[in-house]
Every structure is written in structure tokens, then in C-alpha cells.
Structure 1
Amino acid sequence: MTDTTSTISQKRSYGGMTTGAVAPWIICTVLLVLLPYVFQSSSALTIMNQMAITIVFALAYNMLLGQGGMLSFGHAVYMGMGGFMCMHVMNWVEAESIPLPLPFLPLFGGLFGLGMATIIGAFSTRAAGTVFAMISLGIGELIASCSVIIVAFFGGEEGVSGDRTYGLPVFGYEFLTKIEVYYLTAGWLVLSALLMYLFSRTPVGRMANAVRDNPERAQFLGYSSRWVRFYSFCASGFFCGVAGGLFAINFEILTEENLNLATSGSILLITFLGGVGFFFGPIIGAIVFTLLQSVLSLQTELWQMYVGALFVLTVMYFPGGLAGVIMMHAAPYKLGKLKDLIVPYIKTVLPAAVGILGLACFCEIMFHYKHAAVGEDDMSLFGYVFSTHSVLPWVVVISVTVVSFLIARRNAPELRDTWANSNILTPKKDGGAQ
């Protein structure tokens, strides 16, 4: 009786989520609360706000791509439209002195995104695959072009701006400081992520996976593939609108850039980079991309090339994304063989990382050599100042790069053998299993 009670208590769930599934949400929420006390600078808060918005957008996009298998090339439309509506509501509140608290504005963005997704999804979700992708591309280009024509709603080339401080104070907070806006954004992030996760556990979310993997079989079982895609599309549009509303609150301006093809391409890159096969994949992708965009862009003009190379390498060698790389180590961890990989990783991955860094240094030196002004031969790299017209820096960088890659290539077979052994259940000598 005790064993049965213990088993039941261990499997106790809260709203359909087991205690083991609730723990990560609590940890992440506490982490979001404490982050502003660790990174207190204004720039850090701005980056964290951008991360939170991108995470909501990426998770919403993954509801299509990862869960439903629908590749969209124009999904920034729903984020942008929700953001524009949120900005108009913000200005309406200011002009009419309407007692509407600022934290409710993303809801209007979400509802407008839902409305747009309902209209567009009514005909775009009739087919999947290439047809759906091309329709999404056409719709994205159409609305992006309309954004500079329909000035009344989109504001033309200047966009639409507003002031969040004119809203009704909430518990004495007027959202004048970035930390207040951060906690508002973080609250919506947790709520949106939780709702999207719960949606993935509903019958519609489960059937979206089935339609993605085998639409004919799902149709044979009596489920309409079109309606499953439509419901997922609408839910995704709602949360994209929420992300747009959060963007409007944070930056207080929306332009054509928020719904054009470049933004749609960026969210596709982010989702693939993080890993479309895992719920937390887009979260990792959004964090990594935001850091690269905000931090690396301050250090080099070639940051977009590095991001593009990272994306290509991820798609080619790690289709599961960064989340897939992490989950690859689940089996060695459960088998207790994760420690066996430490030395091979040091002997292989570390030289490879040095080689990649050397290759990046070569690109930086080449870029400076080709584009520096006349007479500006000196450049600074990792604190060292040298002339790009001197032979020594080229020799050092090329030598380090080549030698590092050769060392990594020599040690790669050992890593492959160790990896294979770490994923195999080794039998014990007495006949048991280890």
C-alpha cells in the first residue's frame, strides 16, 4: 500500500503537468526575477528584453514549423500587425485618457494577430509543404509592400510611435524605467511560453505532430489535416501578435522592418539554430542569436557572416540544432558514461574551436586589409595591435588555424569511438548489465 501511494504521489500532476515538468518552469521564473540584479546596466536590460520578445516570437513560429511541419517565409507579418495594433491602442489610450493598464496591451496585439491568422489561414492552410511556403512568402511580401502605402495604419516609411508612460499606472508603476518594462515582458514571456507548452500537450497539438509526420494516416483515422493546420496556424498568429505587442511596449515604435521578409528570415534562422524538434530549442536559438546580434555586432562588421556560417554548419551537421546537441548527451548521462567524453572532447573540440577562431581572425585581417583607409595599416585584435601589411600576422594566424584543424582531425576517430561506446549498454562481467 505504501509503495502504491508513493508511486501515485510521484506522478501527481498540476494542470496536466507532472511535478518533474513543473520544476523547470519554477526555476526559469526565479531566474528571470533575479537576472536584473545580476546584470544591472541599462544595455543589459535592453538585451534581455529583446531576448524575451524573440523567445515568444520563436516559440510561436515553432508551433508551425516544429509541431505542425509548416514552413512559413512570412510569419513576421503577424508579429508586425499585432505590434502596429498595440501601438494604435497605446496612442488611443493616450488621446482619450482611457483607463487601460499597459500590461493588457499585448493581449490586443495577440487578438489582432489571431484575426489576421484566421483570415489568411482560411485559405493558406488548405495545403502544406511548398504550396503553403509560397503562399506565406507572397502574403508576407504583399503586406510588407502595403506598409508603405497604407499610411493611416502603418505610418508610411516613418512607422508608428507612441508613449507607454501615458497609460494607467499599475500598483503605482508607470513603466518609466527599463527594469519595470523588463518584468512586464518577463511576465508575458512566462505566461505565453506556458500556454504554448500546454497547447502542445492538447489533442490538437498532438495531432499537429501526427499531421506533420504522416498526414495521410491522420486523415485515414478521421482527423482533418487542414483543420489541424488551421488551428495551429491561428494559435501561432495569436502569440506572434503578443510578441509584437511586447515589442511595441519596449521600443515604442513600429516600422516596415518589423514585418518584412528579413525579419521572417531571421526567425526561421533562430528556430532552426535552436532546434525545431524540441520545445526549448527556439529559446536557445533566440538567446544565442540575440547575443550575437547585440554583442558580436559591436566587435566586428562581419558578424552576419559568422551567424550565417553557424546556421549553415548547424543545418548540415546538427539538424537537431543546439537543443539536439544537448539532448544527444542524454543517453551517455543515463548510462553513467558522460565523464568518458570529457578527455576526447578536450583533445578534439578544443583544437577545432581554436582553428575556427583562427579562421575568423584570418577573415578579420583580410577584411581590414581590403577595406581600411589609406594609411591605416594597424588593427587591434584581442588586445594586440599589429600591421596587416606585415607578413608575420598572416603566418601566425594561418599556422595556428592549420595546425589546430590537423590536431582535431587526428583526434576525431578517438572521439567517434568513445561516443559510440558511451551510447552502448555495457554488460557486466557477472552477466548483469552495467
Structure 2
Amino acid sequence: MSEYSSTDPTKAQAKAQQRMRAGSMTLSLTPWIIGALILLVLPYVFTSNSGLTIMNQMLITIIFALAYNMLLGQGGMLSFGHAVYMGVGGFLCVHIMNWDAFFGILPLPVLPIFGGLFGMGLALIVGSFSTRKAGTVFAMISLGVGELIAACSVIIVAFFGGEEGVSGDRTYGLPFFGVEFLQQIEVYYLIAFWTIISAALMYLFSRTPIGRMANAVRDNPERAEFLGYSARWVRFYSFVASGFFAGIAGGLFAINYEIVTEENLNTTQSGLILLITFLGGAGFFFGPILGAIVFTLVQTVLSLQTELWAFYAGLLFVATVMYFPGGLAGLLMMHVPAFRLGKLQRMFIPYMRTLLPGLIGLLGAAALIEMIFHWRHASIGDEEMTVYWTTFNSHSILPWIIAIAVTTIGIWLCRTGTPAMLEAWNDANTPDGAGQ
């Protein structure tokens, strides 16, 4: 029985308040140490420059997604223009790179702080009027501000550089303990360091009274106001903190790519971070991390294999919203009760009998989509194509029969095994003897 189910409400309330005061700023070091060790050894697993570039992009996206989740997941504020704060932070950092009198005495690792401060400054201005209301009002204001600044990016050429953007050179900075950040692996460890620091600070922010009240304002702003908390100021502080970490992500982007353009702050980028956060699971702190990892792999690795990667990413997003509204993190957390009951292994065989044929069916459906696309858009005489490392004639009837058969049989087996999987799920999540 939970400690909050005590028959004495006074004692239960006192215990809850004591636990909140004692544990509001605690940070379990184990997952952070494991995460730091993983980031430390990853360059030795993926040694190519392309692998390092993908990991750098992934880590920058993780910071930005976590910053966005401070609004959406913790504060319930849906923003359609949050890429602006990442973009302006990146632009300022690039301009600092080009300012020899200052950048020549500035170590590169502290550069993201300036991007964060600039993003926070813009968030202070915008948040002063946009956080008065949540819901549709906030979403529309964020969209309007995003479009306004995106339009200014091609007008105010002195700062935004017009359509070509602004480029810089990170090697002009003061060497940091002899490291000049000439190699990609040096940049990777810099980004990894800021990823750990930023994620830890955002987690600690979520454990502060303001972070806890952001959850309350998200769920029931009227009740929070009744208890004496200003919903507007809680949203404002969350918005400003989110702008700071988004600016840090922008500074790291400028360091990694040494160029920032209008694409870094337009509505498309804001929509992508919204998709990433929903995909990973906005209701969990680690959800945006999963979303950033999966989407980056889809955007980089899958895009090298097919021109339709954006189509598959859209299907994945729609399927997540429809069937797994908690995102990938929610899907994982659904298995925690079965794990605690020690019954997780009971679902293994039903999962394999259901999900494995379903996966094969989806791969067959993807092959059909690729074949249709090639048949429709290939040039005259180009009849050969490669799917799953197999080259064949797309105008022959046999590949179409195989793809249709694999899709049909796989989906049929998946649907056939679904009842047994649901039964195993219910059994694994029910304590022994609960129904007696």
C-alpha cells in the first residue's frame, strides 16, 4: 500500500510535503554515469567521420527536444515557433566566431553559453506577452512570432545573412588545453559534454518547485491559481528556461556545422521538433531523447537508402499518435508493471509470434511502395531496382507477387496472433491470485 493512502490526511500531506522538499533537487547518478560512459565509448564503435557527424546531430537534437519538452510535456504549452530560439542562438555564436577581437581570447567550449543567453533574452521578450494564456492563444502567438522572425531573416541581412546565412570558423577560438577542435571527434566530445550538462540541468529544473508547478498548471491551471500560484509566471519561467537551452543547442549547431541559415529557425524546423517530441513521448523526461535518436537515424541513415524517408517518418508519426499516444517512452513504460511482477518473460513468445510476422508484413508493404515509386518515376528503360540489397526487374511480375504475398501473409499472421498476445499481456500485468 502506498504511503499516500494513509487514513490520516494530515500525516499523508506532511509526508508528501517532506518528500517534495527533500527530493525536489535530488539526482540519481547511476543513469547519468551510464549515459556518460556510453557517449565516451561511442566514437570507438562508430569511427568514421560520417558516424561522428550523425552522432553530433543526434546530440544537438536531443538538447533541443528536451528544451521543447519543457514547454510541451511539462508546461502543456504547444509552440509552433520554438526553433526561433535555437536559430538566434546559433546566429549569435557564428557572429562571435567572426569577431576576432573577442573570439580570439574565448575558449570554444564556453561559446554555447552565449547562444543560450541570447535565446533566453528573446524568450524573455516574447514570453512577457505570449505566456499570459496557454492553449490555442499561446500556440498561435508562437506561430506568429516564428513566422515574423523567419521573414526578418531575409530582410535583416546584417544579422541573418539573407538566404545564404552566416558562416564562421571554430578554429579561430582560443585553444582549450591545447585542443583546437580541428577534428570531428574533438567536436563530438564537446557536444557530448554539453548534452550531459544540459540534460542534467533540465532534469533538475523539472524537480524544482517551479518545475513541479508547471505540471500542475498544465493539468489544472484554475486549481493552481486557487492555491496561490500564478499560472502565467510559472509558464513564463518555464518558457525562459526552455529558450536558454534551445539557444545552447543552436550554439552547438553553429560549432558543429560552422554555418547557420534561415532553415534553422523556420516553421519547418519547429514542426520537426514537435514531431520528434511526440514520437519519443512528451509525458516522460527521456521520451524526447528516444524521439531524437529514432528521427535522426531515419533522417540520416534511412534517407541514404530511399527517397521516401520522409513518407515513412510521417507514417511512423501518425501510427504513434493513433496507437501509442504516450510515444516510444510510453510504450516502454507500459511494460514496467509486468517487469516488477516478474512476468515479463511470459510475453516473449506471444510477442515473437505476433510482432515478428507484423514486421515482415510491414517490410513487404515498404517494398511494394518502393516498387510502385520506381515503376512510376523511373526513366524509360530503367527497369532494375534494388530493395533490401536485392536487385531485380521492377517490370517483372514475380517480384510483385512475392511482395504482395509477404505483405498479406505477414499481416494475417500478426492479426491471428494478436488475441494470444493480449491474453499474455493481461496475464503478465495481473498479480498472481488477484482474480481469486
Is the TM-score greater than 0.5? yes
Deviation per CA, 1:200-251: give whole Å up to 9, x if none: 0000000000000000100100000000000000000000000000000000
Q: 1:233 to 1:355 in 2, by over 3 A?
A: same
Which residue identity is paired with 2:341? L
Q: 1:244 to 1:355 in 2, by over 3 A?
A: same
Superposition pairs of residues 168-317 of structure 1, within 5 angstroms: 168-317=174-323
Q: Does structure 1 residue 65 correspond to structure 2 residue 48?
A: no
Aligned-pair RMSD on alpha carbons? Answer: 1.4
Q: Does structure 1 residue 167 correspond to structure 2 residue 173?
A: yes
Separation of aligned partners in 2, 1:14 and 1:343? 40
The residue that corresponds to 2:50 in the other structure is 43
The residue that corresponds to 2:142 in the other structure is 136
Q: Choose the corresponding residue for 1:56, options 42, 54, 63.
A: 63
Separation of aligned partners in 1, 2:391 and 2:46? 31
Contact 2:97 2:103 in 1 (8 A): no
Which residue identity is paired with 1:47? I
Q: CA deviation at 1:15?
A: 9.1
Superposition pairs of residues 366-385 of structure 1, within 5 angstroms: 366-385=372-391
Q: CA deviation at 1:308?
A: 0.3
The secondary structure found in structure 1 opposite 2:98 is: helix
The secondary structure found in structure 2 opposite 1:17 is: coil
Q: CA deviation at 1:95?
A: 5.0
The residue that corresponds to 2:26 in the other structure is 17
Superposition pairs of residues 55-134 of structure 1, within 5 angstroms: 55-92=62-99, 94-95=100-101, 98-134=104-140
Contact 2:98 2:168 in 1 (8 A): yes
The residue that corresponds to 1:151 in the other structure is 157
Q: Choose the corresponding residue for 2:394, options 363, 388, 413.
A: 388
* Percent of paired sites with the same residue: 66
Separation of aligned partners in 2, 1:98 and 1:374? 57
Q: Choose the corresponding residue for 1:419, options 398, 422, 425.
A: 425
Superposition pairs of residues 391-402 of structure 1, within 5 angstroms: 391-402=397-408
| TM-score, L = length of structure 1 | 0.94
Which residue identity is paired with 1:133? A
Q: Choose the corresponding residue for 2:332, options 297, 315, 326.
A: 326
Q: 1:416 to 1:428 in 2, by over 3 A?
A: closer
Deviation per CA, 1:345-366: give whole Å up to 9, x if none: 0110001101111110000000
The secondary structure found in structure 2 opposite 1:421 is: helix
Q: CA deviation at 1:16?
A: 3.4
Separation of aligned partners in 2, 1:176 and 1:339? 49
Separation of aligned partners in 2, 1:133 and 1:383? 44
Q: 1:244 to 1:322 in 2, by over 3 A?
A: same
Paired residues, number: 415
Which residue identity is paired with 1:163? D
Q: CA deviation at 1:383?
A: 2.5
The residue that corresponds to 1:5 in the other structure is none
Contact 2:354 2:421 in 1 (8 A): yes
Runs of 4+ displaced beyond 3 Å:
13-16, 95-98
Separation of aligned partners in 2, 1:428 and 1:181? 55
Q: CA deviation at 1:271?
A: 0.3
Deviation per CA, 1:33-68: give whole Å up to 9, x if none: 111111111001101100110000000000000000
Separation of aligned partners in 2, 1:213 and 1:97? 45
Deviation per CA, 1:147-183: give whole Å up to 9, x if none: 0000000000110000000100010000000011011
Question: For structure 2, which runs of at least 5 residues remain unmatched after alignment?
Answer: 1-21
Which residue identity is paired with 1:27? I
Question: For structure 1, which runs of at least 5 residues remain unmatched after alignment?
Answer: 1-12
Q: CA deviation at 1:96?
A: 5.3
Separation of aligned partners in 2, 1:201 and 1:302? 41
Which residue identity is paired with 2:424? T
Q: 1:184 to 1:355 in 2, by over 3 A?
A: same
Contact 2:24 2:209 in 1 (8 A): no
Q: 1:418 to 1:158 in 2, by over 3 A?
A: same
Q: CA deviation at 1:103?
A: 0.6
Q: 1:378 to 1:201 in 2, by over 3 A?
A: same
Separation of aligned partners in 1, 2:360 and 2:259? 42
Which residue identity is paired with 1:73? F
Q: Does structure 1 residue 405 correspond to structure 2 residue 411?
A: yes
The secondary structure found in structure 1 opposite 2:301 is: helix
Deviation per CA, 1:278-329: give whole Å up to 9, x if none: 0000000000000110100000000000000000000000011001111111
Separation of aligned partners in 2, 1:128 and 1:345? 41
Separation of aligned partners in 1, 2:101 and 2:57? 28
Q: CA deviation at 1:17?
A: 2.2
Q: Does structure 1 residue 32 correspond to structure 2 residue 39?
A: yes
